[in-house]
Amino acid sequence: MSALDALDERQREAASVLRGPVAVLAGAGTGKTRVITHRIAHGVDTGAYSPSRVMAVTFTAKAAGELRGRLRTLGIEGVAARTFHAAALAQLNFFWPTLAGSPAPSIIDNKVRLLGQAAEQLRLRLDTPTLRDVASEIEWRKVSMRSIDQHAALGRSVGRVSAEQLADLQRAYETLKDDRRQLDFEDVLLACAGMLEAEPRVAASVHEQYRHFTVDEYQDVSPLQNRLLELWLGDRRDLCVVGDASQTIYSFAGADQRYLLEFGRRFPDATVVRLETNYRSQPPILAAANALMNGRPGALELCPAREAPKAEPPTLTAYDTETEEAAGIAASVSARIASGAAPSEIAVLYRAHAQSAAIQQALADAGIASTVLGGRRFFDMPEVRQSILALRGAAVAPTERGFLPNVRRVLREIGLTDEAPAAGGAQRDGWEARRAILRLAEEAPDDTTLRSFSDALMARAKDQHEPTMQMVTLSTLHAAKGLEWSHVVLAGCAEGALPISYATGFDAIDEERRLAYVGITRAARTLELTWSRSAGRGERRPSRFLEEIGTTARGTGTLRETSPRARSAGRRG
C-alpha cells in the first residue's frame, strides 16, 4: 500500500512533489499533518529520501512528538522531527566544544529572575508583571533580529519603563548573562545562526547531514527562525512549507505571515497547493469561519468534505453579566453531557486567562470536572508518575490475575476509587488522570503485558502524547490552536474581550479576527457563541466579529440568536 493511497486528490498532489520548493496552503481541518507525514513516508518509500537526511521542523514539543508518532505508525524511523529551538540547541551542543574548547553555555530557565537582578543593579524598582513584559519585549527584539540600539531607536517603552531605561536594562541583562556563561531561549537561535554564518565547516557538516526540510505552521516563523532555516538550507531547494495565513496569531511574538504569503514570489518555480476541503467541521460552522475571513490576505475558502443536512447552525446567546454568562455556559455544557456527549468532547474557549476562573467555578458548581489547557502536563502530574512507577514495579513480580486485572489492582492500591471525588479540586484531577491510564489499559491489545504497557506509557511521555481525560477543556484561543473538539463554546464575544481592549489599529484588530477564526474552526459539530452586556460596572457591546459572521436578523442565517431561557427550553425539548 502506497503512502499516497489514504489522501484525497489535493493532498496527494501536495505529497507527490518530493523535490524543489513546495508550499502547502492548508486551511483548518484540511489534514495538513497527514500531508506532511505521508509526504515524508512517500519520499522514504520511493528512495527519494533517506530518513536521517530529513528535518521536519515545527513550533512545539507536542507537535514534534505528534509528527514522530505518526511517522512511526507509517513505519518511518530516524527523521529529525523537532522544534526550531531543539534543532538549534542540538547543533550548538554538538559543535560548540570543538569550536570553543569548552561545553556550550547553559540555558537560563527564568529570564524574569535575571532581569530582576539587572534591574536591582540599575536601582530600578520593577514588579514581576513589568519584568515579564520586559522579557517579552526582549524576546520580540531578538526574534526580529534587532540590536539593542536598533530597538531603542524605535522608541518602544514598557509601562513606566522608558525606552532609554529599557535599553540600559537590556544591556545589564546581557552582561549578567555573559558573565555567567548563559544563553536565553532566543540566544540559542541567534548563536546557532551565527555559528553557521561564521564557520564554513559547520555549515558544510549541517548541509551534508540534512538534505530535505519540512516546516509546519510556516505562517508563524519569525525573521530569526526564517534566517536560520535559510542557513540550514544553504543553496539547496528541497523545502516544503505548510501553513495558513488565517491562523497567524503570534505576530506579537515576532511571527510574520509574509514569509508564507510571498513564498511563490521568493521561489517562482514553487509548487503551490491549496487544501480547502475541511474534514472537521459541519457546513454552518465553516460558513461562519469563511464569513469572518472573507477578503483577508491569504484566506482560504473552506468547504465541507460531505453534506450534513441536519447540522446545527452556530448559536449566539447574550447574558446580562459575566456571572450569568458563566452559569449559562455551565448549564449548556451540563445539558450537552446529559444528551450523550463525553466531557472530553467539549471545550470552552476565551481570549484571556482571567476569564477561566468564573467558568471553571460555574462548571464545578454544576458537578462538571474541567481542566485548563496550558497548565500542568499530564505526564508531569505526580499521580501519573506514581502510577507509571507502580505499574513498572508490578511488572517485575507479576501475578496470575492477567494484565487488565493487575492494572486495576495497582491503580486501586494507589488511590483510584469507583466514585469520583467532587469536581473542582486537585483530588478530582488526580482521579481523572488515573482513570485515563485505566482506559488506555482497557483499550490495549490482548497480548499486552504490564511491562509493555508501562513502556508504552514512557514512550507516550517522551512524545507528549497525552491520553484523553474525561473532563471539559478550558482554553485560551492561543492555546487551542491545532486542537479540535466536537462541541465548542466561544465565550466573551464582546468588544473589549474579543477583540481585546488593547488591540488598536488595523493590524491588531486583524490579529484578533484570526484568533476568533481559530476558535470557530476548533468546533466539529456544534458552536455556541456567548457574550455579556456588562463587565464589572462597565457596559459592553457585542463583538464586531459577530456582526460580520451574520445573524438571522440580518438575513444571512449564518448565526442563530437565542436567549438563555429559549435555549434551555429547546434543550429540554
Q: Is 6 annotated as a binding residue?
A: no
Q: Is 69 annotated as a binding residue?
A: no
Please state, in angstroms and as integers, the Cα–Cα distance from residue 115 to each residue in 41, 111, 129, 156, 159, following that order: 45, 6, 12, 18, 15
Strand 534-535 vs strand 538-539: parallel, antiparallel, or unpaired?
antiparallel
Q: Is 26 annotated as a binding residue?
A: yes
| CA–CA separation, 452 and 274 (whole Å) | 42
Longest dimension (CA), the chain: 75
CB–CB of 202/99 below 8 Å?
yes
Q: Is 32 annotated as a binding residue?
A: yes
**∠ Cα 486 487 493 (to 5°):** 140
Grid cell at residue 370? 474541567
DSSP assignment of 417-439: -SSPPPTTSHHHHHHHHHHHHHH
Q: Is 33 annotated as a binding residue?
A: yes
Residue 323 phi/psi, 5-degree rounding, is -65, -45
Contact partners, residue 200, CB within 8 Å, separation at least 6:
none
Q: Is 27 annotated as a binding residue?
A: yes
Bond preceding residue 499 cis, omega within 30 of 0:
yes
| CA–CA separation, 532 and 530 (whole Å) | 7
| CA–CA separation, 344 and 474 (whole Å) | 11
CB–CB of 51/76 below 8 Å?
yes
For 25-44, give the secondary structure using H, E and C: EECCCCCHHHHHHHHHHHHH
Grid cell at residue 262? 510571498
Number of helices (H), then strands (E), belonging to the chain: the values are 24, 19
Local structure of 48: helix, strand or coil: coil
Local structure of 415: helix, strand or coil: coil
In 10 A of CB 170, how many CB atoms?
Answer: 21
Residues of 244-277 as b/e, b for ≥16 C-beta within 10 angstroms? bbbbbbbbeebbbbbbbbebeeebeebbebbbeb
Binding residues: 26-33
Annotated binding site for ATP: 26-33
